[in-house]
Structure 1
Amino acid sequence: MTQREATDAEIARAEAAIGRRLNRPRYLEESAGHVGYLDALNPENDLREMLVFDLDENLKAFSRLDIDQLSHVQLRHWAKWAGGVDGVLERAEAIVSKYRELLRPANLAAFGVLLSGYAEESQFNAFLKSLGEK
């Protein structure tokens, strides 16, 4: 949200709506824009945790096992884990899609209203340009 001083016309409309004179200056809050897909940043969408610490570590542990020596309980555990791998990969793919949408220049451009000065704006625009629209 950004704040700006209300114009005379906006103050006049507000006064007409409430039927009394308002103190001046009056300020309005406006939406600076909308940045979507911020939920990609939620902790449960941590790809490193999901792919490195879960899949990779379990794959390493599984590769060290002698399947012929496993108990029924152990086999059931690893069968259940292996059955969930496709779901984890599909979830990771969906999260990557969210990250791609989050990092689209058109999505991030709304942050531009928070900048002050030509140097910040130039840097931000160069950053957005480096992302490209692919």
Structure 2
Amino acid sequence: MRYDRRSAEAEEYRKRYKTARWRKRRAAHLQQEPLCRMCSAAGLVNDGSRKMDGSLQDNPRRRFLVADHINPHKGDAYKFYLGKLQTLCPDHHDIVKQAEERRGFVCDAGEDGWPTDPMHPANR
């Protein structure tokens, strides 16, 4: 038996990832944006073959790119199918992006060293 921490609600909307409509949208997006956006911002070229630190991805099951919903859809069909997407490598999606979503803010800092996200606790 597989342990899964997803709610019943999440299990229901995750079925959308298997639909032809989503697969077509994902493929079109990845064709338009074939590199991880966060790696590119850090000066790395990552087509899914690398980890977020630039080293080669040694796990063949993690050699892919994610069409990530910039704003979490949380089961909303409109946001799921029509919301803005960005391309991320699995590391950036599973580690960085999901941590930001759990925290509720991004930790990026400007040139002055101050957090740029208005939701960061330092900016409230």
Q: TM-score range by the shorter chain?
A: under 0.3
Greater share of helix: 1
Task: Determine which structure has greater relative contact order: mean sequence separation of CA pairs < 8 Å that are 6+ residues apart, divided by chain length.
Answer: 1
Larger Rg: 1
What's the TM-score once normalised by structure 1's chain length? 0.18
- Superposition TM-score, scaled by structure 2 size: 0.19
